[in-house]
Every structure is written in C-alpha cells, then in structure tokens.
Structure 1
Amino acid sequence: MEATVPALKNIQKALDEAGVGDKVKATVPPNADVYVSPDDKPSSGQFRPDIDDIMTDMVKFLHDHGSPFVVNIYPFLSLYQSDNFPFEFAFFDGGRNMQDNGGVSYYNVFDANYDTLVSALKKAGVPSLKVVVGEVGWPTDGNKNGNVKLARRFYDGLLKKLAKNEGTHLRPGKMDVYLFGLFDEDMKSIAPGNFERHWGMLTYDGKPKFDMDLSGKGGDKPLVGVSGVEYLPKQWCVLDDEVKDKSKLPANIQYACASGDCTVLGYGCSCNGLDEKSNVSYAFNMYFQMQDQDVRACDFDGFAKITETNASTKGCLFPVQIISAGGRAAPPALGLAALLSSFRGWMRSVM
C-alpha cells in the first residue's frame, strides 16, 4: 500500500511530460473497504485509521491534478459477507431503510456506501473531489444469492435510479457509474468466492442472461447477443459408469475442479442438486471443454469417456466450448474509423 501513492504520482508525471496530462488522468480504483463508518452512518464516514495518512495523501493529489476518485461498490458483497445484513437493503426497491443524523433516510446500501465515501473525502479536506463508481454489479451464479432473478432486480433498480440523475443525499445530481461486467470469466480467481466467475450480463458465449433496459426507463428487453459465435464439436466428457474400481475417482474429481470450473455445483447454485454421476460428469466436462476438447483431457485414469449425447440435465447446462480466436482465421484489419463505427453501432443496438 505504501508504494501506491508514489506510483500514482510517477504515472501522472509521465503523462504530464508526454503532453497528455491535461486529458489523461491517473487514478487508483480501491474497493469500498478503504473507508468505514464507526457508527454505521454515512455522515460519519472516514478513511480507515490504519491507512488514513496514505488515503489522505492520495485524494489530495487527485484533487490537485483534476483526477477523480474511482471506487468499486458491490452491494452483493455486503450481503455475502454478513448473514445479519438486511436482505432488502441490498436492492433499490426494498422496504428497509437506515436513519442517519438529521433524520436523513437511506433506502439502499449503494447510496449509503457512496455517501460514506463522500463524508470521508470531506474529512480528508477534499469535499468536492469527483467520484466515479468504477465497478458495480451482481453475480448470477456461484452463491445462493447469486442468480439471474436477483441480478435482474438489482440492475433494474440501479438503472432506474441512474436515469433520474438524482444522485445521493450528499451528492445530488448525475453519477458516473460503470457496470461490471459484460462476460463471465471461467478462469478468474475464486479466492473471494465462487461467484467471482459469474459477474457477466452475458454468458460465456455472448447470450444475454436476462432482459434489461440500459436507459433505465423500465422497458426491459433482451440485450443484443454476440453474433457469429462458433463452437467446438457437440461432444461432452462424462463419467464412464462401467468402471468398477472407483478408488481413484475422488482424486480425479478434485483435479478436474481445481483445473476447471465447478463453481455452479455448490449450495444454492444453478447446478446444485445433481445426482452423483451428473456431478462428476459436470466436473469432467468443464475441464475437457476448457482444454478445447483435447481428447487427452477426457481420460481421468479411465473414468471418463466422450459422448455425442448432450449431458445437460435438470436445468443444468453442460457447455460446449467456443472456438478461440487462435482457432479462427484472422479477420481483415479495421482502421480506427471503422472500429469506432462498429462500436457505436453495437451501443445503439443495446440501447
């Protein structure tokens, strides 16, 4: 942490010396755990005592150089980290509220968290420092509260709020907020939790998971999915239940899950409740697909076999891997103008 601010200053200095410092600003995107509220009230927000000096130095530098403070706010994590956290307070349409000093009421943890930061900035001597929410979202799997229904509820409330440009009690007006994320990431670290691989609003192959309206007007409809997706052959790696001696099976399952992705098999997840054979087959297949269907990846000491029968069952999708960029012919090079035109067309299609 001690090296963060010197690094920030060096990067901004390099930008300034390159002649782009007035347009390109260096910043640091910390999580919301860098500030606290001793009495759980936003107006009491302050930077954590153990890093207060560092954070104060950082935000004053950002202020002096016209850079924003970028923060990642995840209401889902508030719910995940405490069984006592009020469930409805994680959303924007719930019946829970928090009373702050002066009779101010907060009806969702996003606003309360944001204003806790605003209070911390005021105490640090930079009350007007611009704030950008660099990441906010809701996972759709990997946890009992990570599912499509709750993700849609969260995004609906968030987008309607942002469309009103109402801001928060301490910072009324338009907010700069970036959604996280677009796609699932099946190789992301799961140290924080199995949900880490399921933040995407689109599936791994670019299909929309739920209807939404990015304008916040409430006219939910499917996002435009990715076109032209190509898949590897329709084949799956499953448990060969004809094998009699299964003494080495647990070790092979452990290997498959450690090297593949079994995050949807846990309690409350989308593939929870499969029978033993399907659980093992799911683990084997995920490893097989993530290895681009290499036949050597479907052996597992003879416990596995390749089948052309779709192994998906009981609402649990056994995916087939998409063809990676390395497996396709390179497309014609696009100029900058063509790239910008393509991006604008995609934005219009999803809005």
Structure 2
Amino acid sequence: MSISTFFSIVAVGFLLNFIAVESVGVCYGRRGNNLPPPNEVVDLYKSNGIGGIRLYDTNHDILQALRGSNIPVILDVVDSDLSAIAANPSAATGWVQNNIQAFAQDVNFRYIAVGNELIPGANPEIVLPAMNNIQNALQAAGLQGRIKVSTSVSTGVFGTSYPPSAGAFSSDVHDILQPIVSFLASNGAPLLANVYPYFSYLGNPNINLNYALFTSPGTVVTDGPLQYQNLFDAMVDAFFSALEKMGGGNVNLVVSETGWPSDGGGVATQQNAQTYLSNLINHVNQGTPKKPGVNIETYIFAIFDENMKQPGGTENHYGLFNADKSPKYSLHF
C-alpha cells in the first residue's frame, strides 16, 4: 500500500466517523405487539440514513441484526440487572462478555447507559458502583477506549434550570451526581440527558409554544451575553452550566432522548410533532448559544408508536414510523 493510499483511507475513516457523530439517532422502544422483526427495523434505520440507535435492553436478536451495520449504539443496562452488577464485579464481567464482547467485533457500541432516569429515584446509590464495575469489565476486555460508560438522567435532576447560566443540580441529588460527574470527566464520557421541551411546555404556562417548537421569530430569553430562540438550547445549556458548577466543565452532553407526541390531546398533534422533529434535525449540528458550532449528538424517541406503553395516551404516539414501517412525517436524516 502506498503512503498516499494509506492516508486516503485514514481520511475516509475520519470522515465516516465524523458523519456518524453528526447524524441524528433514534431510540428503539419495543413496547408494542405489532412491531416488525429486528432485521427489518435495522434495515429501516439504514435505508433512512438514521445515524444512531438506542436500545433499552440487550435483546440479542437486535444485536445480531446490527452486525456489520456500523450504526452507533447506546445500550442500556436494564434496571433489574443493576443491583447485581453494582454489588458483584463478576456480574458486570458476565454482562459485558455476553452482551458486548460477543458482538463487539462488528457492532458499533458507543455508550453504555447504566440506568435510565434512576436519579433521583428509590436506589440512586447503585448507579455509580454499577458504572465502575462495567468500566472495569470493559477495561479487562480491552474495550474501555472505544465504549464510554454513562447514565441517563432527566431534567428531574435540576434544582435550577432558568436562566440557563443558573442551571444547577438539586441538593437532593448533589451527593449522588458529584462522583458520577467526576467519573465521566476522568473517563472522557458524556452525561446522557433526556431533554423534552414538550414536557417543559406542559409544566410551565409562561412558555410560548413557538419557543418549544423552534419557531420563535427572534430572541425569547436573554441570559447575559447569550440569546435563546428555542427551549431545547436553553435546556441543554442548563445541563452544561450544572456540570460546570460540579467541576464537569469538560464533560460533554449527549441528548439520549427527545421527541414530541403526535396524538393524545392538547399540543400533542401531528403538525406540532412534524414541526418540532424537522426543526430539531436541522438545528442540532449548529450547537447552542453556550457552545456554538458544536454538534449536539441527539437521539429522537422513538422509531415506532408503542401501543402497549402504560399509561396510555400521548406515550403511545412518539413514533416516527407506523408499525407497517410507513413514515408518519416528512423527515430527512
């Protein structure tokens, strides 16, 4: 191989990786009794150019279908496994061997989410020990540089989120999150955050719908030198501010869920969902006022409507596609 050919291959590799990071991913929720089989779902991701997938469990049929796809994967550790993994390093080793090592040669694992919205919760103290044990198991397998370990949180961790520069985690979770943020910083891992302007709009009558849908014609919130035209940026920057206050200024943020329901009442309409999702996809590579030009790696919830999710209502209507794989919206990934 010539030197020029070698560097051309390396350049293409970097470009492909860059494109993968720039693309928007989609979460694969499976609480439905009418969904297509995993191999067809993975084909749907590939044919639509969807740049990432979040899996909420370790279903091996899905992992098998992902072989050779190069689709970046967030893989969740299910809550029922966390106590054993936190208490027993050998349980973490077994989990990594069975669900990561067995597929790592040709599945593009990017992040392991150790718990989804467990902080705050009934047993948040198990999250960090489980993260440490998974990290050590990855290191033993030689995979620690390739796969980052994190946990996924909601905006429920905030004590203050407005204005974005005042973003701070609540005192209730401070002692839990402080060592987790240190773990993320020392391992070069991002915090995974579920960011839903839809819920913030519902919970605050002072928020304008246009601000939540990326359709405000101008600045809505001025925060010192920074100007905010949409709620998504404000929520993301509140997380960055909270991380900074906890010594995590070098910790990145991955939006591990966001979305807008198409039915179920109120502003949960097909038109509003189309507006939010299309504007989101066009926006995330622009960064936020706090971090302009820095792509926000983002995963939309979810690939399909899930007819068995409880409680019923808007929760059944987050899908980008119908169960027959036909698109609900006009989106361009």
1:30 aligns with 2:153: yes
Indicate the RMSD between aligned Cα atoms, in angstroms. Answer: 1.7
Cα deviation code 1:115-172 (max 9, x no counterpart): 000001110111121211111111111122111100111112112213xx32011112
Structure with a larger share of its residues in strand: 2
**CA displacement at 1:24 relative to structure 2:** 1.6
1:204 and 2:323 are equivalent in the alignment:
yes
For 1:12-161, what aligned pairs fall within 5 Å after superposition?
12-37=135-160, 40-95=162-217, 97-161=219-283
**Residue 67 and residue 201 in structure 1: after superposition, are their counterparts in 2 closer, same or farther (change >3 A)?**
same
Spell out the pairing of 1:176-215 with structure 2 (5 A cutoff).
Answer: 176-190=297-311, 194-214=313-333
CA distance 1:24–1:104, change in 2 (3 Å)? closer
User: What is the CA distance between 1:103 and its match in structure 2?
Assistant: 4.0
**SS where residue 243 of structure 2 aligns?**
helix
Q: Report matched runs for 1:294-313 at 5 Å.
A: none
CA contact under 8 A between 1:42 and 1:113: conserved in structure 2? Answer: yes
Q: Within the alignment, does 1:166 sit opposite 2:267 as a pair?
A: no
Distance between the aligned counterparts of 2:206 and 2:163, measured in 1?
17
Decide which structure has greater helix share. Answer: 2
Contact 2:321/2:328 (8 A) holds in 1: yes
**Equivalents in 2 of 1:143, 1:13: separation in Å?**
46
Paired residue secondary structure (2:275): helix
Is contact 1:89-1:97 (8 Å) kept?
Answer: no
Q: 1:96 to 1:14 in 2, by over 3 A?
A: same
Instruction: Please give the residue correspondences for 1:199-348 in structure 2 after superposition, counting only pairs within 5 Å.
Output: 199-214=318-333
Secondary structure of the corresponding residue to residue 33 of structure 1: helix
TM-score (structure 2 length as normaliser): 0.59
Q: Which amino acid aligns with 1:72?
A: N
**2 CA distance for matches of 1:97 and 1:54?**
35
Report if aligned partners of 1:72, 1:134 keep a CA contact under 8 Å in 2. yes
Structure 2 residue runs of 5 or longer lacking an equivalent are 1-123
**What SS does the aligned partner of 1:201 have?**
coil
Q: Deviations 1:278-323 (Å, cap 9, x if unpaired)?
A: xxxxxxxxxxxxxxxxxxxxxxxxxxxxxxxxxxxxxxxxxxxxxx
> The residue matched to 2:198 in structure 1 has which SS?
helix
Q: Between Structure 1 and Structure 2, whose CA radius of gyration is higher?
A: 1
Between 1 and 2, higher relative CO (CA 8 Å, sep ≥ 6) is seen in 2
1:5 matched residue in structure 2 = 128
- Per-residue deviation, 1:178: 1.2
Contact preservation (8 Å) 2:226, 2:290? no
Tell me how far 1:96 sits from its aligned partner.
Answer: 6.6
Structure-2 residue corresponding to 1:175:
296
3-state SS in 1 of match to 2:125: coil
Mapped partners of 1:88, 1:204: distance in 2: 30
Contact 1:36 1:116 in 2 (8 A): no
* Letter in structure 1 aligned against 2:289: H
User: TM-score scaled to structure 1, two decimals?
Assistant: 0.57
Query: 4+ residue stretches of structure 1 with deviation over 4 A?
Result: none
Aligned length: 209
The AA in structure 2 aligned to 1:37 is: T
Name the SS of the counterpart of 1:57 in structure 2: helix
